[in-house]
A = this chain, B = another copy of it.
Amino acid sequence: MNCKPSRTEEHKKDLMAVQDSMDALQGKWKISIISSICYYNKRRFSDILNDVIGISNKMLSKELKELEINKLIKRTVLNTQPVTVQYELTQHGKSLQTIINNLKDWGIKHRQEILTNNADIFIDVKTKDALVENS
Q: Which residues of A contact B (CB under 8 A)?
A: 1-7, 11, 14-26, 31-32, 35-36, 38-40, 51-53, 66, 69-71, 92, 95-111, 113-114, 123, 125-126, 128-130
CA distance A60 to B7 in the complex (A): 16
How would you classify the secondary structure of chain A's contact residues: helix, strand, loop or mixed? helix
Q: A7 → chain B, closest Cβ, in Å?
A: 6
Tell me if A128 and B53 are in contact (CB < 8 A): no
- Per assembly, the copies of the chain total 2
Among all A-B residue pairs, the 3 with the closest Cβ atoms:
A17-B107, A3-B38, A21-B107
**CB–CB B98/A20 < 8 A:** no
CB atoms of A31 and B22 under 8 A apart = yes
- Name 9 interchain pairs, CB-CB below 8 A, sorted by A: A1-B104, A2-B39, A6-B36, A15-B35, A21-B107, A69-B129, A70-B110, A99-B99, A99-B103
Q: Give the CA-CA distance A88 to B2 in the complex, in Å.
A: 16
A69 touches B5 (CB 8 A): no
Complex-state Cα separation, A20 to B92, whole angstroms: 24
| Shortest distance from the beta carbon of A85 to any chain B beta carbon, whole Å | 18
